[in-house]
Amino acid sequence: MIRLNCRKALGFILIATCTTGVYAQVKDYPIQPVAFTSVHVHDNFWQPRMETNATVTIPYILQKCKENGRIDNFLRAAKQLPGDKLTEYTFDDTDVYKVIEGASYAMQVKKNPLLDKQIDSLISIIGAAQEKDGYLYTFRTINPAKPHPWVGSKRWEKEEDLSHELYNSGHLFEAAVAHYQSTGKRTLLNIAIKNADLLVHDFGYGKEEKYPGHQIVEIGLVKLYRVTGKKQYLDLAKFFLDVRGPKGTEYNQASKRVVDQHEAMGHAVRAAYMYTGMADIAAITGDQSYLAAIDDIWHDVVGTKIYLTGGIGATNAGEAFGNAYQLPNMSAYAETCAAIANVYWNSRMFQLHGDSKYIDVLERTLYNGLLSGISLSGTKFFYPNPLASMGQHQRSAWFNCACCISNMTRFLASVPGYVYAHNHNDLYVNLYMANSADIQLSSTTVKIDQSTEYPWKGAVNLTITPAKPAVFTVRLRVPGWARQQPIPGNLYSYTNNYTPPVTITLNGKPVTYQLQNGYVVINRKWAKGDKINMNLPMETQKVMANAQVKDDKGRFAFQRGPLVYCLEGPDNADSLVQNILIDTNSKASVSYKPELLNGLYTINTTGKSFKRQLNSDALTETTQQVTAIPYYAWANRGPGEMMVWIPYQTSAALPKPAATIASTSKVTSSLKSERMHKALNDQLEPADSKDANYPYLHWWPKKNSTEFVEYTFKQESTVSESKVYWFDDGPWGGCRIPDSYTIYYKKGNEWVAVKPLKPYSIAKDKYNIVQFEPVKTTAIRMEVKLPADNSAGIHEWAVK
């Protein structure tokens, strides 16, 4: 019923028209979030993170933008800096916009005169880079001698491909609205309006009939419409959606018209931004075809394409959604930007439908696949968020493609805006964190104080203080994880079919309730000091994946409350976890570790670990204590092994390999980074050459060069065989099998080619074996000739 009613009667809100000072009543979401500026968080989980974002991460990213040429792009476009040197990506301007947005949000929470001055200076630089008619795209305005290959010979020429002109505009608009609402200053807003007016002039039926290559301008235009009241912006946002497809590609959701799409496809960030924009247009226009499409797509995602952590986008081939149930763990992409976009989308879906299942997905993403994207220090980041690692994943201080880093700054500051929502006299309590908030309902203003130690403990206490006694409804969300549903649908389930009941009292008296769309509904005349107490069962749960998810076969995952847990090397024997097996019936306990990773609860149980023996199929088995930590906290102690999905069947475990001449050798190579060296001799055999589930070594983006890898043995040894398994991620990736390769051994101080018994052969999807006349040596080397147009890589290199 909620779904049908939302489609028939979308709500109305008042928007300010800043150009005229008047207000207009317009159609919009029936349920409105309570602005984060009205929600004052003071808990021990989120408040420190938001403080770190404001005082550490935002200044850090501003400095990195300066160091890495982002600001120089604008200075050169404004002719304030000589030369035509550009940064690497045409969307690099958006890093500046996003950090301005994040800073604006942070300044709304806590004034910061120094940051305010820095942002004013940045806006002045941006304004100087804008062309007279409103065009703002540094990669064209600089007019370099060698234009970026993604930039066409004229404006908008490659917009449907990779130019990112409209993508840059979208982030500009979002930053401008945030800055205006934070400071009341129109400096950046005027720049955005000038650019938006240009888009209105240039795009539309009978003009430039093109869609954005990377969606987000639709969201930005709607935000700009809400602030200015200019309906042309709303119309243009809808145009960009309606003109999309059907002659494009799945990669950027253009192979069909948007209203004809019913499954998630292509690049996950582009997709989720588009679905968010579609929800905005559906809310404001009441377009039921938009609603039908995003409803179906949402069910496709939560039913077949979302990780337990809330991550979306399974494959690095196009940073895209995979097929149904294609959810690999070690090669999971699950981009941080996609997690943020997933929160935006699910927030809008809730505003449309009023169902807690959307907040269930939002919360899962927030605490797991999104929060994992930033280190506890606030200065190290993940781009992909895998669910398993052999140590090949490591947080970085910066990426050349820094979209996830700057995106995190703008998101963290706005977290309190997802806690509450309202619709006339309905007050929704969606997330649980200690805070105080002031909420305007139709009948009265309500002050609500929430105290809780969530997500560690399940007690939530609310004190309701209306300005005057009034009748209204409090809708208290009971999370799906507390009622046998990790994620809506049947993609994941608990091994235990019983969860203790959620208990609720009102002014000390038990409340008997039936859930409506996942909410406890309490309608009454509220008075000052009324208290609601809810207790959520913080049981340690074991989660199983749908049998069609082949990568999770024979495995389970730990979950406690909203938090997904993982095993990480530093907490377990020999710093290994891939060789661990835990029985599904094993008892688990929890303990609070105040000194560990800024304080957290660990899950502790007993398991087994396995080890291979040389020249034998028999495994040695050891009983050991096993510790799990929340997934968001992994990789804060350096690279190492990690896994979310824990084997309970022996066939799913990866026994510790037996020592071989290769595994005990020192690895060197022509790579600048040594992070990939362990892949060569980890004894993990891929399913095929494109298998990215296990670590591999690659030379990308090098092409048409001669590279090498080398083993230095612990002692002089006699060897007579080499076998290598090539990495080849065609057709999407940049690696192919090499043109040729040669094996050398060390003789004195010289490298001498071995004498093969048969000619070399090169093939993918199998070991390439070379047997040669035995040599006694201290080291062996493989020289690899890369293809002219591609790079190459190696899964495994064994020596016998």
- Which residues are known catalytic residues? 319, 403
User: CA 543 to CA 557: how far, in whole Å?
Assistant: 5
H or E element that contains 528:
none
**Nearest residue to 419 (alpha-carbon basis) of 429, 404, 406:** 429
Check: CB of residue 10 under 8 Å from CB of residue 286.
yes
Q: Which phi and psi (to 5°) does residue 562 adopt?
A: -85, -5
Please report, in angstroms and rounded to a whole number, the separation of the first and last CA atoms in the chain.
Answer: 68
Q: How far, in Å, are 45, 237, 251, 260, 487 from residue 245 at the CA level?
A: 44, 15, 12, 10, 31
Q: Burial letters for 160-183: b for 16+ Cβ neighbours within 10 Å, e otherwise?
A: bebbbbbbbbbbbbbbbbbbbbbb
H or E element that contains 268:
helix 268-285
* Residue pointed to by tokens 């060390």: 746
CA dihedral sign of residues 61, 63, 69, 73 = positive
| Cα-based angle 570, 574, 579 (whole degrees, multiple of 5) | 100
| Amino acid of residue 760 | Y
User: CA 20 to CA 229: how far, in whole Å?
Assistant: 9
Helix (H, G, I), strand (E, B) or coil at 271: helix
Render 8-29 in DSSP notation, one character per residue: H---EEEEEETTTTEEEEEE--
596-600 LR contacts (CB < 8 Å, sep 24+): 596/629, 597/376, 597/629, 597/633, 597/636, 597/637, 598/48, 598/376, 598/633, 599/44, 600/456, 600/629, 600/630, 600/633
| Cα-based angle 458, 3, 276 (whole degrees, multiple of 5) | 80
**541 burial level (CB within 10 Å; 0-12, 13-18, 19+):** buried
Q: How many helices (H) and strands (E) does the chain have?
A: 16, 33
Q: Which phi and psi (to 5°) does residue 123 adopt?
A: -65, -35
What angle, 0 to 180 degrees and rounded to 10, lies between the N-to-C axes of helices 268-285 and 288-304? 140
User: CA 758 to CA 772: how far, in whole Å?
Assistant: 8
- Return the bridge partners of 555, or none: 647
Check: CB of residue 150 under 8 Å from CB of residue 141.
no
User: CA 426 to CA 538: how far, in whole Å?
Assistant: 28
Taking the CB of residue 530, how many other CB atoms lie within 10 A of it?
Answer: 18
Helix (H, G, I), strand (E, B) or coil at 557: strand
